[in-house]
Amino acid sequence: MESSQAYLDSVVVTIPEPTPGPAAASLAATFNNTAVSQDTNTAAADLDGHGSSMSAQALATAGVSPGSTITYGGVAFRWPTQAGTGTADNTVAAGQTIALSGSSDTLGFLVAGSLGTSPGSSIAGPGKIYYSDGTSQQFRLDGPEWRSQADNPAVTSAYTNAPGNTKQNTVAGVWYRGISLVYGKAPVSVQLPGAHAGEANGIPRLHVFAMAQGGKAPSPAETFNNVSVTQDTNTNYGDMDGAGSSLSAQALATGGAEPGSTITHAGVTLTWPSTAGVIDSTSGKTYGEVDNTLAAGQKVAVDGTRGTWLFLLVAGANGTASGAAAVTYSDGAVQQFTLTGPDWTKTGSTVAFTSAYSNKPGNQRNQQAAYVHLVGVALLSGKTPVSMTLPNITAQPVQNKPALHVYAMTHG
């Protein structure tokens, strides 16, 4: 009896990994839904089963047109060339298998859900990636409801279309989702999540607009490692220069830079960190939220849909801070350049905004004005940037040693 059980156990152990079904050559080969319409022909698309759709004109205004490139998370995507033509431009996930090739560390998707169970809900399901050695990797893919206010959309449409060539003043979006691939293995195909129950009746579905492989890179905010902005009543939490100096949240607000606000200078719009000057006590300890990256060789994603320049909000400390930086493009090309942050106590033509005073330890004030600067680099023509490597200067503020603080970045 024991030998029979051992034999059965061996049979179970040697059952091969399930193999995927036939793979479509591309995501576009599986397109089965039309989500984008012209404002003058809204009947040509139906994203949600109620005749609503994304506007080709609103997308174009945001820099997204048929076949254009969208970069997010270090991955470069191509927006469907069919979008707005009246033909299928996305795949409603129903277990389709799609071929993959090449090596990378991330499989990225541009997705959105429709007809969620509640406003702001996500549509999600399990998928599977198959590798050349016969193994597989399960993952979860989710898409926020297309008209939700979910954070960080990769694509935004200022309004949507409705039947009868009418507009709905509702913002819509498409979101990036990245899946880390198994290191050292070659992916050969991916199986999308299966159909949701009742999908034929127009209830929850997951729309996949684009899929691509690439090298994962964190957003600038994900590399934040320093607190440089403090409340006037809690100055000890910040340190710009190794001596405990910091920007004043109150002085910045007076100058128009509040947490999460947009700052426009020389025609360039960037978002000031939402954590700047924020105090957190949720863990039982009180500390300042990190609000910038001290440049120390970090790789960060270049997200966006268009532009010939890369702009950054920066400030040097303990003098002007500069070093070798690089932009990496989707075709593997690398552009070397020098990134320079003028000192935060020095004015000049690069000043984006001014703080009338700064803070010192012990809730003290330094009456000298402080500055954050806007700098930029011209990108290579005809290429798509996916990431940037910051100079390797210092990861910790040290007295009398130059430091480069990076607050925000935009591709425009």
Same domain, 251 and 205: no
| Six token digits for residue 412 | 């425009």
Domain C-terminal end among 159, 191, 214:
214
Overall average pLDDT of the 359-375 stretch? 96
DSSP string, 326-357: EEEETTS-EEEEEEEE-BTT--STTEEEEES-
pLDDT band at 102 (very low <50, low <70, confident <90, very high): confident
Percent of the chain's residues with pLDDT above 70: 90
pLDDT of residue 66: 96
Does residue 44 form part of some domain? yes
Q: How confident is the model at residue 2 (pLDDT cuts 50, 70, 90)?
A: very low
Domain-ending residue, one of 197, 214, 231: 214
Residue 244 placed within a domain: yes
Q: Is the pLDDT of residue 20 over 80?
A: no
**Does residue 64 sit in the same domain as residue 203?**
yes
pLDDT digits (tens, 9 = 90+) for 115-163: 755 556 788 899 999 999 999 999 999 999 999 888 889 999 999 999 9
**Segment 66-97, tens digit of pLDDT:** 999 999 999 999 999 999 999 999 999 999 99
**Residues spanned by the domain of 262:** 220-411
- Same domain, yes or no: 42 and 171: yes
Say yes or no: 144 and 162 in one domain.
Answer: yes
* Judgement on whether residues 262 and 364 belong to the same structural domain of the protein: yes
Among residues 213, 209, 216, 28, the alpha carbon closest in space to that of 111 is found at: 209
Cβ proximity of 263 and 277 under 8 Å: no
**Per-chain mean pLDDT for the chain:** 90
Determine the average pLDDT of the residues in 190-202.
Answer: 69
Asked if the model's pLDDT at residue 243 lies above 80, the reply is yes
- Tell me if 225 is assigned to some domain: yes
Residue 196 binned pLDDT confidence (cut-offs 50, 70, 90) = low
**pLDDT the model gives residue 215:** 85
Assess if residue 333 is contained within a domain: yes
One domain, residues 101 and 198? yes
Same domain, 195 and 272: no
Is residue 195 in some structural domain?
Answer: yes
Please, which residues have CB within 8 angstroms of residue 310's CB and are 6 or more apart in sequence?
302, 327, 376, 377, 379, 385, 388, 409, 410, 411
State the total domains in the chain: 2
Q: Is 43 helix (H, G, I), strand (E, B) or coil?
A: helix
Last residue of a domain, one of 178, 194, 214: 214
Take residue 2 and report the two structure tokens written for it.
């024991």
* % the chain with pLDDT above 90: 77
Least confident of 175-184, 192-201, 216-225, 282-291: 192-201
180, 325: one domain:
no
Instruction: Specify whether 224 is located in the same domain as 210.
Output: no
Mean pLDDT of 264-279: 92
Q: Flag whether 366 is in a domain.
A: yes
* Any domain includes 6: no
207, 226: one domain: no
pTM tops 0.85, yes or no = no
Task: Compare 238 and 104 and report the one with higher pLDDT.
Answer: 238
Q: Are residues 190 and 304 in the same domain?
A: no
pLDDT, tens digit (0-9, with 9 covering 90-100), for 39-67: 999 999 999 989 999 999 999 999 999 99
Q: What pLDDT band is residue 14 in, cutting at 50, 70 and 90? A: very low
Task: Answer yes or no: is pLDDT of 237 > 80.
Answer: yes
- Establish if 374 belongs to a structural domain: yes
What span, in angstroms and rounded, lies between the C-alpha atoms of 357 and 165?
54
Same domain, 326 and 368: yes
